[in-house]
Amino acid sequence: MKRILQVMFFASLLSIQSFAQYAISPNDTLERTLPFYSLTYDSIHLANTSGGKLNLGWKLVTYDTLNGTYFDFCASGNCWLGVPDSGSFPMIDPGDFGWAGFHFWVGSSTATARTRIYVYDKDNLSSSGDTLTIILNAVSGNGVNNISLENQIFVGPNPTKGIIEISSKSIPINAVEVFNLVGERVYYSKLDFNNAILNLTALNDGIYFTTFHSGNSIITKKIIINK
């Protein structure tokens, strides 16, 4: 019953349905606008509307990034730095769904970046697939010099075995969050001082994103745990 309701939910959001094998929601274009030196994660869902397992693949069509803006791609739970030229999604059971997820990274310059991937049914190559378009608009935020802010925060060692020192030269750090590659928050702590030690030894090896909150500003740094 849970899976039936799940399919009904995604079908209600359907904007495009390719060939009665999967439904895209909310639509085939994902657009986000972010201030400098920030990131977010969002995805397009692909619901299996067929009676059997769904075997989806993708091919990179365009990868147009400028001035420090870029994308990282997740095919359901499989994630990469950047967007590979091609690959496969994990098999999607009937009534279940997968997702084409993207990390949106913003640099220090105003820019619009676009990435397009072609998604298709690997077991039904005679049918047409869908092109997903991902758009990132990088804009200056609140008049804050984010380049200066980023340089004020030290995070190390990096790579790390899990113990990380953070320190700020002059700006206050109010809170720190750590996210994994699929956008899940795996650590959070409020801070009221400029120096701290983070114990992340409970996390698995891999790439994480550490987000620091300083007043209305957000600074994000990438860290690698390698025990």
Domain residue extents for the chain: 2-139, 146-225
Is it the case that residue 41 has pLDDT exceeding 90? Answer: no
Is it the case that residue 1 has pLDDT exceeding 60? Answer: no
Minimum mean pLDDT among 14-28, 39-53, 57-71, 101-115: which range?
14-28
Q: What's the CATH fold of domain 146-225?
A: Immunoglobulin-like (2.60.40)
With H, G, I as helix, E, B as strand and everything else as coil, classify residue 203.
Answer: coil
Mean pLDDT confidence for 119-125: 89
Predicted confidence band at 150 (pLDDT cuts at 50, 70, 90)?
A: low
Q: How far apart are the first and last CA of the chain?
A: 42
Q: What is the pLDDT of residue 81?
A: 79
Q: What is the pLDDT of residue 68?
A: 73
Mean pLDDT confidence for 146-160: 72
Cβ(112)–Cβ(33) below 8 Å: no
As a CATH number, domain 2-139 is: 2.60.40.10
